[in-house]
Structure 1
Amino acid sequence: MVKSTPSVDVAVIGAGPYGLSLAAHLRARGVEHRIFGELMGSWKHNMPPGMLLKSYPWASNLSDPGSEFALKTFCTERALPYFDQLMPLPLSRFIEYGEAFQKRYVPAVERKTLMALEPSAGCFRATFDDGEIVHARRVVMAVGLHSFKRLPHQAAHLPTDLFSHSGDFGSLEPLDGKEIIVVGSGSSASDLAALLYERGVSVSLVVRRSQLEFAGQPRPRTLFERTTAPMSGIGNGWTLAACAKYPQLIRLLSKDLRVRLANIKALGPLGGAFMKDRVIGRVPVWLGRALQSTEACDGKVLLDLIDASGARHSMRADHVIFATGYKVDVARLGFLNPTLLRQIRLVEGAPQLSAHYETSVPGLHFIGPASANSFGPVCRFVYGTYHPARHLAGHLAAVLARFQPAPRVRPLDRTVMP
């Protein structure tokens, strides 16, 4: 049965760090809104228990209006251990922090899945999995990366039970007792390999690069290091520091430069600092081997690999996990109406955004990783929640206020001048 509700000024799609941060600021400004999605859903279901965040704890704060509820505050209130840099942030602790943030600032998250979004007479018509239809004047997409998983073309013909993407896990229990190959060199690959090894699973790591790289262990930095390569919430160096602090300026750069910065090599592929000792010397790592083809045979998957010398190698496993990252492509958001999709101007698959995170479709906004090609690499990190939450909440409050009906004044309410 279809259920209809009154219109809402702003619909926020996604209840992860970006959606929660924006909703907290909208609520503080009194902007009418609703936020839809499973609370911290991707963090709960698409990342394995035991994973460590690559970002420093001090750079993993959600954005609240008064800057009062940082991760450090959360840990202090609960007598939990906390260090800005010298300890890793476990996934479970970050999820707990997100849940506490939601209870404090965003009490009305609605656990619904958007099924269709289409234009409708000056607004947007959003249909959800429970049949409810919501008419929204503005829609903000804070959908994260899960819809944009990138798989190598060599996997296209494999049976689905023989391979997966690193973003398909949650629990690793289904892999117990199997022989696993992880393909990739970033933090997802090294994290999965270490966690599987520690569960007693037979696992190997196949890396195309000649070296498996990890972030450096936290340590006190000299004055010279701090001056020549200042620390930022997304990495060290003047370029990353500028990207972290001034995303609005990044948007003014040329398209090619913005795209290069969004995918800057300094950010990876790179394993987390605290995972190196859990991988090197423990997990078998095959370096410099590029994937040529795959084949299913007798319930197993065969990988055909080639090394730098041109020599061919074959590997066999029960299951292959491709930790091959993500590539934003809004066409993969199945809920977007085809007409709406055609109206969105794109930059290499990602929406081209205005200074107010607005697409070429008036009233449709994107924040989070999907905005990186416009605002730079900070959008790929939790640290980046600060910018769109504050800027977009202020913009929407101002824009929507202009459309509020003015209070009607009756003659007897007028001030009588002498």
Structure 2
Amino acid sequence: MTRLSTTDVAIIGAGPYGLSLAAHLQKRKVEYRLFGETMGVWKNNMPAGMLLKSYPWASSIPGPDAQFSLRSFCAERGYPYHDELIPLPLDRFIEYGEAFQERFVAGSCERGTLTSLEPGPDGFRARFADGETVDARRVVIAVGLSPFGHLPEDVGRLPSQLRSHSSDYGSLEHLDGKETVVVGSGASATDLAALLHERGIPTTLVSRQSRLRFASRPRPRTMVERLTAPTSGIGQGWSLAICARYPQLIHLLSEDARTGLAYGKALGPFGSASAKERMAGVPLRLGQTICSADVRGDRVEMLLADAAGQRQVLQADHIVFATGYRIDVSRLGFLSPAILNDLRLTGGAPRLTRDYETSVPGLHFVGPAAAPSFGPVCRFVYGSRYPARHLAHYLATDRKRVPRLRLPVPAKANATPEFVVERESEVLS
């Protein structure tokens, strides 16, 4: 028997973007339900011991008031804190996110796993792994980057026990005792290689880049430096400062300009300042391209080539590809064909209106999937303040009926599921 309930807004994803939006909706007394494990991606898809690359001052989750910043959280619990000079440990950020949820979104974060999202009688019908079905007038997707980890095409055929993506970590225990290769040159690659090396796992880093780039170690900046290259929530420089402060202005640019800004070279790939020293002792194979990767017994054998065409063989027990992310909403297995067919895309990312709404009425995206529409700030925790405020206002004032999409073909009469209405809509106070 399937349970059927209703809500005005369903938020899918309980990371910083989902939590911030939920807190703002609750303040405005908009009925919503938030689905996902609180800070789940940060807990399950990032290795313990990692340090955040973003400034601590730019890592606060924006609530409906300014009283619960990361600074105030650390002061409450007696943790050392500095806006820029002390890196933020992953476990502390997770603890902060959980405290934010308890304070602002108490009792409304549900760990349901969405299995399908399709057109419904008054918007959307969401089905969850525990058997619940939720009808929502609007849906906001805030799933972050983890579903979009990119693997080079020619390695997808390697068995999963021999290769993985950096977004799969998480615990590193299953790599203990295994000779490991990390492929990449950005923060994910260098952080992971350093953590594996510190754990005593034999690790080699392979990169196409001829040298590794790292962020400068934080230090007090002169007035001239602040004027010529101001610090923003996503980095230093005037172009990044504009992107960080004015995403709605970026939305007015051409599609090519927005996409160029979203994935510009100014943001990487480069490692965090703290990773540079921790990488000492990790063998490097720089300026190397992987020509092939094949199974040899219970190991993987890679053929590498440098810029001069010289080749060498490297074997390992496991390869971790820290090769970035590519937004492709078709990889979200819960979106029905009826929704995917009506989505207008930029590359694989949804084209969004100024209200973060897709071409499917009532379906919104926030977070990294919104970067081609609103610029690179969407790739950072700092960017969560904009959709939270804007969407909360929009959803609180918009009460128009969402136009129906083409509904799925009904099942045969004798196969129609039986629904039990579990809870009627009610406004959260």
Give the TM interval when normalised to the shorter protein.
over 0.9
Deviations 1:201-245 (A, max 9, x none): 100000110110000000111111111100000000000000000
* Offset of residue 159 of structure 1: 1.3
CA distance in 2 between partners of 1:82 and 1:223 (Å): 23
Task: State the Cα deviation string for residues 347-378 of structure 1 (Å, max 9, x = none).
Answer: 01000000000000110000000100000000
Give CA-to-partner distance per residue, 1:56-83, whole Å, 9 cap, x none: 1001010101111100010001111101
d(CA) in 1 for partners of 2:334 and 2:343? 14
Instruction: Look up the match of 1:22.
Output: 21
Written as runs of structure 1 = structure 2, the 5 A alignment for 1:286-365 is: 286-365=285-364
Separation in 1 of the partners of 2:342 and 2:122?
15
Alignment of 1:173-192 (within 5 A): 173-192=173-192
2:226 matched residue in structure 1: 226
Task: Tell me how far 1:282 sits from its aligned partner.
Answer: 1.2
Letter in 2 for 1:328: I
Aligned mates of 1:156, 1:192 — CA distance in 2: 21
Quote how far apart the aligned CAs of 1:111 are: 0.6
Query: What amino acid is aligned across from residue 143 of structure 2 in structure 1?
Result: V
Counterparts of 1:35 and 1:120 in 2: how far apart (Å)? 19
Q: Which residue of 2 is the match for residue 123 of structure 1?
A: 123
1:39 maps to 2:5: no
- Residue 112 of structure 1 pairs with residue 112 of structure 2: yes
The AA in structure 1 aligned to 2:150 is R
Counterpart AA for 1:40: M
- Is the 8 Å Cα contact of residues 122 and 135 (structure 2) preserved in structure 1? no
State the alpha-carbon separation in 1 of the partners of residues 148 and 245 from structure 2: 26
User: Which amino acid counterpart does residue 188 of structure 1 have in structure 2?
Assistant: S
Give the letter for the 1:246 counterpart.
Answer: Y
Q: Answer yes or no: is 1:366 the counterpart of 2:365.
A: yes
Measured on the aligned residues, the alpha-carbon RMSD in Å equals 0.8
Structure 1: tracts of 5 or more residues without a match: 404-418
**Residue in structure 2 matched with residue 143 of structure 1 by the alignment:** 143
Equivalent position SS for 1:331: helix
- The DSSP-based 3-state class of the residue aligned with 2:161 is helix
Q: Which residue of 2 aligns with 1:285?
A: 284
Whole-Å separation in 2 of the counterparts to 1:362 and 1:122: 11
1:120 and 1:329 map into 2 onto residues whose CA distance is 24
SS in 2 for 1:115: strand
Q: What is the SS of the residue equivalent to 1:68?
A: coil
Aligned-partner Cα distance in 1 for 2:368–2:169: 20
Q: Distance in 2 between matches of 1:163 and 1:126?
A: 33
Q: Structure 1 runs of 4+ off > 2 angstroms?
A: none
Letter in 1 for 2:286: L
Distance (whole Å) between structure 2 residues aligned to residue 334 and residue 173 of structure 1: 28
2:119 and 2:329 mapped to 1: Cα distance? 16
Question: Structure 2 CA distance, aligned partners of 1:217 and 1:255?
Answer: 35
Match runs of 1:157-176 below 5 Å: 157-176=157-176
Q: Report deviation, 1:254.
A: 0.5
Q: Offset of 1:4 from its aligned partner? A: 1.0
Matches within 5 A, 1:211-222: 211-222=211-222
In structure 2, what is the Cα distance between the partners aligned to 1:124 and 1:222? 53
SS of 1:52 mapped into structure 2? coil
Gaps of 5+ in 2: 402-429
Question: Secondary structure of 2:140's match?
Answer: strand
Give, in whole Å, the separation in 1 of the partners of 2:374 and 2:66. 22
Choose between structure 1 and 2 for higher RCO, CA contacts under 8 A separated by at least 6 residues.
2
User: Any conservation in 1 of the 2:124–2:139 contact (CA below 8 Å)?
Assistant: yes
**Aligned equivalent of 1:205:** 205
- Shift in Å at residue 156 of structure 1? 1.6
Q: What amino acid sits opposite 2:271 in the alignment? A: G
Cα deviation, residue 35, structure 1: 0.4
| Structure 1 residue 121, shift from structure 2 partner | 2.4
TM-score (norm 1): 0.95
Amino acid at match of 1:372: A
- Displacement, 1:118? 0.5
What is the CA–CA distance in structure 1 between the aligned matches of 2:387 and 2:311, rounded to whole Å?
48
CA distance in 2, matches of 1:324, 1:8: 38
Name the structure 2 match of 1:245: 245
The alpha-carbon deviation at position 320 of structure 1 amounts to 0.4
- Give 1:122 deviation, angstroms: 3.1
- Following superposition, the deviation at residue 40 of structure 1 comes to 0.6
Contact 2:122 2:136 in 1 (8 A): no
Q: Calculate the TM-score normalised by the size of structure 2.
A: 0.92
Question: Can you list the C-alpha shifts for 1:260-279, whole angstroms capped at 9, x where unaligned?
Answer: 10001011111011110000
- Identical aligned residues as a percent: 61
Q: How many residues align?
A: 400
Counterpart of 2:427?
none
Shift of 1:91: 0.3
3-state secondary structure, aligned to 1:373: helix
> What residue is the counterpart of 2:73 in the other structure?
74
Q: Where does 1:379-390 land on structure 2 (aligned, <5 Å)? A: 379-390=378-389
| Secondary structure at the counterpart of residue 147 of structure 2 | helix
Give the aligned residue type for 2:75: T
List per-residue Cα deviations over 1:364-408 (Å, max 9, x = no partner): 0000001000000000000001000000000000003x67xxxxx
CA distance in 2, matches of 1:291, 1:259: 28
